[in-house]
């Protein structure tokens, strides 16, 4: 019996080793496959969780973005626009000029002919200055505030919802505190508090150059009026350096140094606050080519709507044309309408509803370069 088993083993030993080897190899391959399968399942689960997380983040960012827009439209912009309207009314008050002209009309001999011409010429210049300034300031202030709230909203969202800070200069900067936030939003009043005198002077210079030689008896129709206002705005924007107008809207002396400071400039960077970082980022947006495009689109849209409204107020007379002297009454009426609060200001709504403007601010909030 034993010898039979030995003979059997001797004859089939090779086959037995092969069989055991195959079985062992199969088991090893199975374990390898099972481990690989488990890793794939785990990886797929992680990817699914990551995709869900990204979806939730995008949804939260969209909701937060819409909330930021509401804050701008219902709180920040109405306050700033009311302040701007009051300041323009103070600095470019036409009441005394109009009263003198009315008195001269009632008492023909109270003024000489040259004095009347001088008063009418002043009314012409100041009326167009006020209307063009109101158009430009309303447009720029509404755009500036939306830049502000989108930059601030993105930083606040990153600080709180993502758990890390997107610092402009420093890796481990503090989160935005309430004082920096309020100071940053309060800078929307810089135009009304500090920038208006220089803006008014430059706009009046532009208006004087464009209106030079235009007589009170000259006929203005919609096309001539549109071209005249456009020329005033173009002349104003060409005064000084390409981005000279930024100095009307926000302070720039300190931020110029910060924007050009390198990491080795420890003395400059040591006292950089979150407010400084937000202002530098805002300044860079304002001087970007993409924002320049948005400004041009917005100014054109507002100008088109303004001339359209003036044509309607004229009862159709502006279509065929009217003397400049008669047109000035319409010009003086339109200035204050341009700086109404957002809820009553269709010009602001025109800017906000423009598709290209909406795309710009969506990309700004997401911190993506416009294409």
Chain segment 56-73, per-residue pLDDT in tens: 766 776 676 677 677 777
For 342-353, the pLDDT digits (tens) are 888 999 999 999
CA-closest candidate to residue 257, choices 268, 267, 245: 268
CA-closest candidate to residue 228, choices 315, 328, 101, 344: 328
Percentage above 90 pLDDT, the chain: 48
Q: Which of 107-116, 180-189, 237-246, 258-267 has the lowest mean pLDDT?
A: 258-267
Whether 65 contacts 94, CB under 8 Å:
no
**Measured distance CA(217)–CA(98) in Å, rounded:** 18
Q: Which of 69-83, 111-125, 185-199 has the lowest mean pLDDT?
A: 69-83
- Give the pLDDT confidence score for residue 298 in this predicted structure: 98
Percentage above 70 pLDDT, the chain: 78
Instruction: Examine the pLDDT at 270 and tell me if it is beyond 60.
Output: no
Going from the C-alpha of 4 to that of each of 10, 12, 15, 18, the distances in angstroms are 10, 12, 17, 22
- Give the pLDDT confidence score for residue 32 in this predicted structure: 67
Average pLDDT, rounded, for the chain = 82
- Give the pLDDT confidence score for residue 15 in this predicted structure: 63
For 135-156, the pLDDT digits (tens) are 999 999 999 999 998 898 888 7
Instruction: Examine the pLDDT at 31 and tell me if it is beyond 80.
Output: no
- Give the pLDDT confidence score for residue 99 in this predicted structure: 87
Give the mean model confidence (pLDDT) for residues 26-45: 73
Reported as a pLDDT band with limits 50, 70 and 90, residue 179 is confident
CA-closest candidate to residue 361, choices 150, 60, 185, 220: 150
- Give the pLDDT confidence score for residue 42 in this predicted structure: 81
DSSP, collapsed to helix, strand or coil, labels residue 238 as coil
**193 secondary structure, DSSP code:** I
- Give the pLDDT confidence score for residue 290 in this predicted structure: 95
Place of tokens 């080897």: 21
pTM over 0.85: no
Residue 129 or residue 34, greater confidence = 129
- Give the pLDDT confidence score for residue 169 in this predicted structure: 38
- Give the pLDDT confidence score for residue 202 in this predicted structure: 96
- Give the pLDDT confidence score for residue 173 in this predicted structure: 45
Give the mean model confidence (pLDDT) for residues 77-93: 94
By DSSP bridging, strand 219-220 and strand 322-323 are antiparallel
Assign residue 265 a region: left if phi > 0, alpha if psi is -120 to 50, beta otherwise?
Answer: beta
Reported as a pLDDT band with limits 50, 70 and 90, residue 355 is very high
Q: Which of 23-32, 72-81, 141-150, 215-224 has the lowest mean pLDDT?
A: 23-32
Tokens of 252: 């720039």
Strands (E), 174-221: 219-220
DSSP, collapsed to helix, strand or coil, labels residue 220 as strand
Give the mean model confidence (pLDDT) for residues 325-342: 93
């Amino acid at each position: 019996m034993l010898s039979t088993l030995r003979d059997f083993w001797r004859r089939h030993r090779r086959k037995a080793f092969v069989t055991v080897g195959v079985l062992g190899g199969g088991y090893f391959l199975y374990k390898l496959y099972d481990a690989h399968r488990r890793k794939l399942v785990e990886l797929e689960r992680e990817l699914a969780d990551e995709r869900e997380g990204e979806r939730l983040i995008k949804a939260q960012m969209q909701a937060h973005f819409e909330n930021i827009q509401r804050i701008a439209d219902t709180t920040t912009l109405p306050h700033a626009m009311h302040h701007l309207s009051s300041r323009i009314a103070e600095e470019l008050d036409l009441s005394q000029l109009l009263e003198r002209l009315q008195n001269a009309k009632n008492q023909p001999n109270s003024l000489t002919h040259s004095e009347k011409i001088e008063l009418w010429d002043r009314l012409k210049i100041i009326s167009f200055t006020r209307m063009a300034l109101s158009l430009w300031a309303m447009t720029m202030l509404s755009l500036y505030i939306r830049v502000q709230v989108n930059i601030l909203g993105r930083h606040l969202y990153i600080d709180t919802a993502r758990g890390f800070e997107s610092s402009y200069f420093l890796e481990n900067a503090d989160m935005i505190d309430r004082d920096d936030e309020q100071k940053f939003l309060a800078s929307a009043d810089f135009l009304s508090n500090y920038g208006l005198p220089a803006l008014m002077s430059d706009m009046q210079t532009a208006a004087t150059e464009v209106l030079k030689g235009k007589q009170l008896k000259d006929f203005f129709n919609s096309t001539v009026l549109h071209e005249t206002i456009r020329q005033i705005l173009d002349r104003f924007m060409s005064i000084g350096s390409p981005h000279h107008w930024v100095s009307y809207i926000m302070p720039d002396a300190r931020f110029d140094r910060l924007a050009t400071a390198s990491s080795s400039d420890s003395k400059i960077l040591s006292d950089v606050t979150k407010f400084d970082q937000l202002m530098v980022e805002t300044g860079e947006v304002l001087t970007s080519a993409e924002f320049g495009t948005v400004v041009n689109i917005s100014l054109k849209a507002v100008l088109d709507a303004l001339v359209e409204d003036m044509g309607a107020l004229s009862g159709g007379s502006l279509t065929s044309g009217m003397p400049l002297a008669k047109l000035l009454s319409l010009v003086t009426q339109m200035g204050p309408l341009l700086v109404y609060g957002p809820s009553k200001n269709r010009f602001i709504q025109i800017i906000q509803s423009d598709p290209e403007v909406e795309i710009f601010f969506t990309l700004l909030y997401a911190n993506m370069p416009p294409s």
